[in-house]
Amino acid sequence: MRDFIRYFLKYPVTSNVIMLLIIVFGCMGLFNLRKTFFPERTAKMINVQSVYPGASPLEIEQMITFKIEDNIDGITGIKRVTSKSLENTSSVLVEIENNANNQVVLQDIKNAIDRINSFPDDMESPSITLIENLNPAISFAISGNVTLDRLKLVSEQIEDDLKDMQGISKITVSGYPVQEMEISVRENDIKKYNVSFYEIHRAIQQENIDITGGTIKSKKENFQIRSNNKKYSSSEISEIVVKKIGERIVKIKDIARVNKVWKDESNKKYFNDTSCVVIKVLNTNNEDISVIASKTREYIENFNSINEDIQINIIEDNSVIIEQRIALLSKNGIIGFVLVMIILTLFLHPSLAGWVAVAIPISFAGMFILASFYGITLNVISLFGMIIVIGILVDDGIVIAESIYQRYERGEDSFNAAVNGTLEVLPAVFSAILTTIVAFSLFFMLEGMLGDFFPEMGFVVIGTLIFSLIEGVIILPSHIAHSNALKGIKPNYRLRKIINKTTLFLENFKNNYYVPSLNFTLKNPFTIIIVFICSLILTVSAMSAGLIKSTVFPNIDGDNIIVNLKFQAGSSEEKTNKWIQFIEKKILEENITISKKYNNNTSLIKAIEKSVGSNQAVDQWAMSAPQSSEKGALNIILIPSEERTIGTSDITKYLKNAVGEIPTSESLTFDIASPFGKAISIALYSDDTNELLPAIKQLKSYMHSLNLMKNIESSDQKGLKELKITLKEKAYNLNLTTAQILNEIRQGFYGFESQRLQLGTDEVKIWIRYEKNDRNSIYDLENMRINHLSNSYLLSDLVDMKLERDLISIDHLNGKRSVQIDADLLNPKIDNPNIIVSNLEDYIKSKIKNIYPSIKHSVEGQIRSQAETGNSLKYSGPIVLILMLTIVLFTFRSILQTIAVFVLIPFGFIGVGWGHFIHDFQLSMFSWFGMIALIGILVNDSLVFISKFNNNLKLGLKFEDALIETGKSRFRPIILTSLTTIAGLAPLIFEKELQAQFLIPMAIAIAYGLILATLLTLIFLPAFLKIINKIRYTKEWIFTGNKLNDEEREPAIKEIHYENM
């Protein structure tokens, strides 16, 4: 290694060429990195969608869902299965194990479902798809004073135009239902001509066709025999002949009205109270959000310039948010870098400070080379990893630079000082970097949602550290050896005066405060240890008492408020529209008041997107719920957080109070959009429905009584009122069956799908059903005629009808009926969801299960994600810890010194806890990830300290003198590395913008933990090494009877004998 370093010192051009190559290729790699909102996630969900028109949730469950669940049970790679049986639709969601092959599991599921031969005849083929992880890039509203048909045509053209652009592939369109061809049969006319629905269907099937009759092959020419009789318009279809009665030809138009209509379902969108069609452009894992949004914005600008009657308004542009986040973190990173440079310059020679700081861009450039191959994207997590690693990079550079400069000051020439100084600290630096790499490798072993996010941060840190080691061995010694600092060239007078003052201040602080403290520590090591132990106990107690608050995920105020309104199932669209308009009006009125009070009359609300017929998911990765007329939603888009002086949570409270209660509504919720899911979510499941439903009712009642939660909702909501039909005696006497009667009812009221037409890109279904006026009341049903053996009978004479309300959906969890209860925290900044969920679990076990023994429960939402991550840490954490112990053990070759390094780790929590208290942040999962990063830094400082201590012992210093000299020599590097790391994170900690909020807990954990780590390394570690020395004395005396002096007990002294052999 000595010759290797000497080579680059002799020929500095080689190190400069390597540096330039790293920077050039790094820049190329950086320009190739894509920008995404969050780190890309691997698709781990498979959706099996089945449609059976006209079937109830119970029919769907028994005839479809159970069969699918039963057949896919046991397939290798399936983690868990959830399902939802709705009216007309079965949706089975399969979650895949992290280590399973997506495509293999997908094919196994397809094969298993293909083997099912007992599905209902009228059921459509199941759709089995791997759910892509799509992120919204940009959404916009198309509106104008035109018909909905025109808006549909324009939106379809826009969709086609955008998809034709390179880099855009996924687009969704909403705001209108699908179109269908409806044959509205008049009941009186089909009675008059004695025509059945089946005869109309048969006529369409036989007449509305294109068919080939073969080929005539003559000697001169071939002729194709063909009938082009396919009819696509309503007027053409109405001319189809149904039957002939005597001399009278009966056509469809004689018994029905044929129209192309919108499907009878609620699907309406409004933007700022103007009817519109909404288009969302999404980005896949292979697309760049900034490129997509830029091309879309350019298209919109061009469209608006050439169209007057129809205009496009951008609703949300997430590329702006990611650009803001990148700019924000880049700004914080640059400020941190500048602060690092200033601090280094104040305490080191400017040329030393400059070359130490150069390690940062070189290491980043090397990481960008690796990142371009690995598929890393520029996102908030990877950028935060870059901010974290700045301090660690400077730490290693300072250690090497200080070691070289100290040897130069002791009289060595620049060449030998560079070689010997680097080699002196290289083992400790190498071990420190390696242990930090191992610590951050833990992020690759995490599971759950966080396991999808944080590997990118781990990659950034590890990649950067690898190149920092290369830079520290090859480039930095060469630069320092030929720098002005080692040539004896002093900086200019003013700068030298500042450096002298700061250096003198640090020296005085060291001599007047640190050295006396260190002497006291060595005389009273047990006192120091007890002080730190008491501080740790006090911190843990403060956390248990709620003084230091904790949660699962940090409470982040987004820029969107989601308002979801829901009435009783079956409520009319008119009712929903009326009340969602009322809510919107109240919100706009309150906006004027609070904008005047808190924002100098500048509106806090930028825009409002309104939906009628659907609710909006708060979690962007949640599955969309089915559309129905009783649902309505508002997406309130606020101005950016940095442009207002009031938080989103406070705005939400004002708006909710202004709206008040909505009469007869089942639920009205005001939520802040979050990527982490619900804070409280528990599923109860059982095979016994008679126990499940009352258990849910009891649990919900208990949750309400705690007064700690809001927006408490369960998935067992009642559906439409149903007319339950049973046959009368007369029907049996006529030899009629339930199937016959219900089939005729179904054909008239639900409809009979006769055919499908391909009109452009739309597949239009032809439905035969009664005219709307003949099927809009129970009276119409009762007076419906049932044809049987050339006679007709009133339905009311054949059946009894009973009005009941059934479930709107039936949920399953791993094959058992389940009901999920979700809730938000009433005071998210105070309450800990872990404690509340633990309380609910105790209540389920002690109260509910005693009454309903078949009940089982499962924790969902944020807590489940946390548990998945926590469980993975139980297995991967010890592995990482053992590897770190092994590296340190190989470095020191002493078990007790290795233990001394790792004993420091839990005490770092003192700084983490009180740092969160000072900044009024809750401890969260991100805080614990900050602790993982802190471990690497803490071990780094300890390694170098103990290595220097062992070297001092080998030079012949007494035990306590060696500790004092180590403390004095390591004081400045440790203080500098702590200051530089904290300075790099400080801009982020004090950042007020929304984009930084969920990263601040990690920054607080590292910065304040590092303050404690500095004390631990300079004070606690010497005290612990002193106690270890006493332990060695006791061990030697007990086992050998020898009374060794302080130095002879140390492994460094014992090694001298073997090193000289």
Query: Among residues 673, 688, 704, which one ends one of the domains?
Result: 673
Query: Residue 713 is inside which H or E element, if any?
Result: strand 709-714
CB 785 within 8 A of CB 191: yes
**Model pLDDT, residue 403:** 82
pLDDT in tens, 204-228: 888 888 887 788 887 778 888 887 7
Within a domain: residue 1003? yes
Do residues 911 and 1048 share a domain? yes
Tokens for 483, please give them. Answer: 């720098």
Please compute Rg for the chain using Cα positions. Answer: 37
The predicted model scores a pTM of 0.78
Query: Residue 310 is inside which H or E element, if any?
Result: strand 310-317
**Model pLDDT, residue 1058:** 61
Within a domain: residue 982? yes
Q: What is the DSSP letter of 627?
A: P
- In this structure, which amino acid lies at residue 899? I
Query: Residue 280 is inside which H or E element, if any?
Result: strand 274-283
Q: What are phi and psi of 927, to 5 degrees?
A: -65, -40
Within a domain: residue 304? no
* Secondary structure in 3-state letters for 969-1003: HHHHHHHHHHHHHHHHHHHHHCCCCHHHCCCHHHH
Do residues 931 and 1011 share a domain? yes
Within a domain: residue 636? yes
Do residues 438 and 517 share a domain? no
Tokens 């890309």 belong to residue: 40
Distance (Å, rounded) from C-alpha 350 to C-alpha 831? 50
Do residues 114 and 83 share a domain? yes
Within a domain: residue 613? yes
CB 363 within 8 A of CB 393: yes
Among candidates 215, 435, 336, 551, which has minimal Cα distance to 939?
Answer: 435
Do residues 786 and 919 share a domain? no
Within a domain: residue 401? yes
Distance (Å, rounded) from C-alpha 1005 to C-alpha 794? 76
**Model pLDDT, residue 698:** 92
What's 590's domain CATH number? Answer: 3.30.70.1430
Distance (Å, rounded) from C-alpha 134 to C-alpha 318? 13
Tokens for 1018, please give them. Answer: 């300079």
Distance (Å, rounded) from C-alpha 57 to C-alpha 84? 9
Q: How far is CA 995 from CA 436, 454, 557, 738, in A?
A: 27, 17, 10, 61
Do residues 906 and 1038 share a domain? yes
**Model pLDDT, residue 843:** 92
**Model pLDDT, residue 229:** 80
What stretches of 771-815 adopt beta strand conformation (E)?
Answer: 785-788, 791-794, 799-807, 809-813
Do residues 537 and 576 share a domain? no
**Model pLDDT, residue 308:** 85
Query: Residue 712 is inside which H or E element, if any?
Result: strand 709-714
| Count of C-beta atoms within a 10 Å radius of residue 25 | 15
* Vertex 874 angle, CA 868 and 880, to 5°: 120
- In this structure, which amino acid lies at residue 931? M
Q: How far is CA 986 from CA 299, 361, 1007, 1010, in A?
A: 41, 20, 8, 12
- In this structure, which amino acid lies at residue 147? T
As a whole number of angstroms, the longest Cα–Cα distance in the chain is 128
**Model pLDDT, residue 584:** 92
Put residue 88 in one of left, alpha, beta given phi > 0 → left and psi -120 to 50 → alpha.
left
Do residues 421 and 469 share a domain? yes
CB 1025 within 8 A of CB 952: no
Distance (Å, rounded) from C-alpha 936 to C-alpha 907? 14
CB 8 within 8 A of CB 16: no
Tokens for 268, please give them. Answer: 């309406």
Distance (Å, rounded) from C-alpha 635 to C-alpha 280? 14
Do residues 905 and 1029 share a domain? yes
Q: Is 212 exposed, middle or buried (0-12, 13-18, 19+ CB in 10 A)?
A: exposed
* Low pLDDT (below 50) residues in the chain: none
Tokens 């129809």 belong to residue: 310
Within a domain: residue 927? yes
Number of domains the chain is built from: 5
Among candidates 461, 895, 415, 859, which has minimal Cα distance to 679?
Answer: 859
Do residues 544 and 566 share a domain? no
Distance (Å, rounded) from C-alpha 444 to C-alpha 428? 25
Among candidates 383, 400, 394, 600, which has minimal Cα distance to 481?
Answer: 400
Distance (Å, rounded) from C-alpha 4 to C-alpha 419? 10
CB 836 within 8 A of CB 706: yes
Q: Is 920 exposed, middle or buried (0-12, 13-18, 19+ CB in 10 A)?
A: exposed
Do residues 585 and 725 share a domain? no
| Count of C-beta atoms within a 10 Å radius of residue 135 | 21
Query: Among residues 63, 98, 132, which one ends one of the domains?
Result: 132
**Model pLDDT, residue 996:** 63
Distance (Å, rounded) from C-alpha 935 to C-alpha 903? 11
Range of the domain at 110: 42-132
Distance (Å, rounded) from C-alpha 757 to C-alpha 208? 10
CB burial string 373-384: b at 16+ within 10 A, e below: eeebbbbbbbbb
Q: What are phi and psi of 693, to 5 degrees?
A: -65, -45
Spell out the alpha helix ranges (H) of 510-602. Answer: 515-523, 525-544, 573-598
CA dihedral 879, 885, 890, 894 (to 10 degrees): -150
CB 210 within 8 A of CB 230: yes
**Model pLDDT, residue 623:** 55
CA dihedral 602, 606, 607, 608 (to 10 degrees): -80
Q: What are phi and psi of 618, to 5 degrees?
A: -80, -35
What's 737's domain CATH number? Answer: 3.30.2090.10
Sign for the CA dihedral angle at 146, 150, 152, 156 comes to negative
What's 985's domain CATH number? Answer: 1.20.1640.10
Within a domain: residue 269? no
Tokens 């020296």 belong to residue: 507
**Can you spell out the DSSP letters for 895-953?**
HHHHHHHHHHHHHHHHHHHHHHHHTT--B-HHHHHHHHHHHHHHHHHHHHHHHHHHHHH
Do residues 570 and 667 share a domain? yes
What stretches of 40-152 adopt beta strand conformation (E)?
Answer: 45-51, 78-86, 89-96, 127-130, 135-144
Among candidates 466, 469, 474, which has minimal Cα distance to 371?
Answer: 466
Query: Among residues 435, 452, 487, which one ends one of the domains?
Result: 487
